[in-house]
Amino acid sequence: MTKTGEYIAFVGRIVVGLVFVAASIDKIADPESFANSIMNYRIVSGNMPMLLATVLPWLELLCGLALCFGIVVRGSSMLSSAMLLMFTVAVISAVLSGLDISCGCFTQDPAASKVGWVKVGENALLLLISLYVWFRGSTMLSLESFLVRRS
């Protein structure tokens, strides 16, 4: 990979990682409110919103930390890509259904940023960055490459 490509993958890895870490904090602190945010999308029902609200933020946190520190980069970027695709599809579904709801991304405040085409664009951009990291890999300043070199 060219040096420029490696720098782009490194920066992308850090950006997506930090976004995932930041997005997980409020959700971990208040899973019940996050479950309500999930229910507002009208995609899942029953016990599924609470299950997702309990598991998803921890996946976001672990995935984000793994990307930031460069641990299992390809797997972490694959997982972040899958989650971003799921989030994007959920937002598109809400927009097309005419729902006037908060996205539930970084805060569970109902007055926070609403779902809309801007949010779709933000998610799509993060998805493209995450896919770039997945396909290119990123070993620059990664704990993974440090450990490999030491052994």
List pLDDT tens digits, range 79-134.
999 999 999 999 999 999 999 999 888 887 777 778 999 999 999 999 999 999 99
Euclidean distance between CA atoms 61 and 19, whole angstroms: 9
The predicted-structure confidence for 50-62, as pLDDT tens digits, reads as follows 999 999 999 999 9
Proportion of the chain above pLDDT 70, given as a percent:
95
Looking at residue 151, what is its pLDDT?
A: 64
Q: Running DSSP on this structure, what letter comes out for residue 115?
A: P
- Residue 133's nearest CA partner among 3, 15, 21 is 15
Which tokens sit at 127?
A: 């998805």
Instruction: Return the domain boundaries, the chain.
Output: 3-150
Cβ-Cβ contacts under 8 Å for 46 (sequence gap 6 or more)? none
User: Mind listing the pLDDT tens digit for each residue in 20-72?
Assistant: 999 999 999 999 999 999 999 999 999 999 999 999 999 999 999 999 999 99
The alpha carbons of the chain give a radius of gyration, in whole angstroms, of 16
Question: Cα separation of 122 and 99, whole Å?
Answer: 18
Q: Which helix (H) or strand (E) holds 28?
A: helix 3-29
